[in-house]
Structure 1
Amino acid sequence: MRNTYLLSLSFCTATALISIILPIILILLSNTSFPEISLSSPVSSSFKLPTSIPQVSTEMHHFSKLLKDKLAEASSGNSATKSHQTPSASGATGSTLPKIILFGDSLTEWAFNTPEGFGSVLTRRWEGRAVVRNCGKAAQTSETLKTLFSQTIHSVSSQPQPPPLLYIIFLGANDAVLPPGGQHVPLPTFESNLRHYVSIILTTPAYSTTKIVLVTPPPINVRACSAHAKREDERKGQGFRTWDSKRTYARKVMDVARDFEARGLGDRVAGYDLWERLVGWECEKMGARDEERLPGCGLPGAREFENGIFTDRLHFGEKGYKIVTDGLLELLAGKWPEVFG
Structure 2
Amino acid sequence: MSYRYFRRDSRLDRVTPNDYPRIYLFGDSLTERGFFPQDVGFGWQLQKYYADRVEVVNEGYSGQTSRSLRRQFNEYLMGAIKSRGPPAPLFITIFLGANDACLSMNGPMVPLQEYEEHIRHYLNTILDDPSTQETKVILISPPPVNVPVPIGEPLLDNPDAAIILRSVASQGRGHRTWESKRAYAKKIVEIGKEYETQTSRVAVLDLWYSITKSVCRIEGTTQDDAFYHLDIDEMLPGSGMPGAKPFDKGYFTDGLHFGEKASISLSFFLSLFSLFPPGQQD
Query: Is TM > 0.5 for Structure 1 vs Structure 2?
Result: yes
Question: Normalising TM by the smaller chain, what interval?
Answer: 0.7 to 0.9
Identity %: 40
For residue 68 of structure 2, what is the aligned residue in structure 1?
Answer: 144
Q: 2:108, 2:180 within 8 Å by CA — same for their partners in 1?
A: no
For residue 9 of structure 1, what is the aligned residue in structure 2?
Answer: none
Scaled by the length of structure 1, what TM-score is found? 0.68
Consecutive unaligned residues of structure 2, counting only runs of 5 or more, are: 1-9, 156-161
Aligned amino acid, residue 190 of structure 2: D
For residue 231 of structure 1, what is the aligned residue in structure 2?
Answer: 166
Residues 81 and 139 of structure 1: is their aligned pair in 2 closer, same or farther, counting only changes over 3 Å? closer
For residue 271 of structure 2, what is the aligned residue in structure 1?
Answer: 330
| CA apart distance, 1:159 | 3.1
For residue 165 of structure 1, what is the aligned residue in structure 2?
Answer: 90
- Superposition pairs for residues 143-292 of structure 1, below 5 Å? 143-150=67-74, 151-180=76-105, 184-225=109-150, 226-227=152-153, 228=155, 230-262=165-197, 264-265=198-199, 267-284=200-217, 288-289=226-227, 290-291=230-231, 292=234
Higher helix share: 1
Q: 2:92, 2:136 within 8 Å by CA — same for their partners in 1?
A: yes
After superposition, what is the alpha-carbon deviation per residue over 1:163-220, rounded to whole angstroms, capped at 9, x for unaligned?
0001000000000011227970000000000000000000111111111011001110
Aligned amino acid, residue 42 of structure 2: F
> Is 1:320 matched with 2:262?
yes
Consecutive unaligned residues of structure 1, counting only runs of 5 or more, are: 1-79, 86-92
Residues 201 and 285 of structure 1: is their aligned pair in 2 closer, same or farther, counting only changes over 3 Å? farther
Aligned length: 251
> 1: CA distance between counterparts of 2:31 and 2:108?
17
Between 1 and 2, higher relative CO (CA 8 Å, sep ≥ 6) is seen in 2
Aligned amino acid, residue 162 of structure 1: P
> 1: CA distance between counterparts of 2:106 and 2:41?
28
| CA apart distance, 1:260 | 1.0
> Is 1:109 matched with 2:44?
no
Q: 1:94, 1:130 within 8 Å by CA — same for their partners in 2?
A: no
- Give the structure with higher Rg (CA): 1
- Alpha-carbon RMSD across the aligned residues, in angstroms, is 2.4
For residue 3 of structure 2, what is the aligned residue in structure 1?
Answer: none
Identify which of 234, 239, 253 aligns with 1:297: 239
Residues 335 and 161 of structure 1: is their aligned pair in 2 closer, same or farther, counting only changes over 3 Å? closer
> 2: CA distance between counterparts of 1:323 and 1:235?
30
Moved over 6 A (4+): 80-83, 335-338
| CA apart distance, 1:152 | 0.6
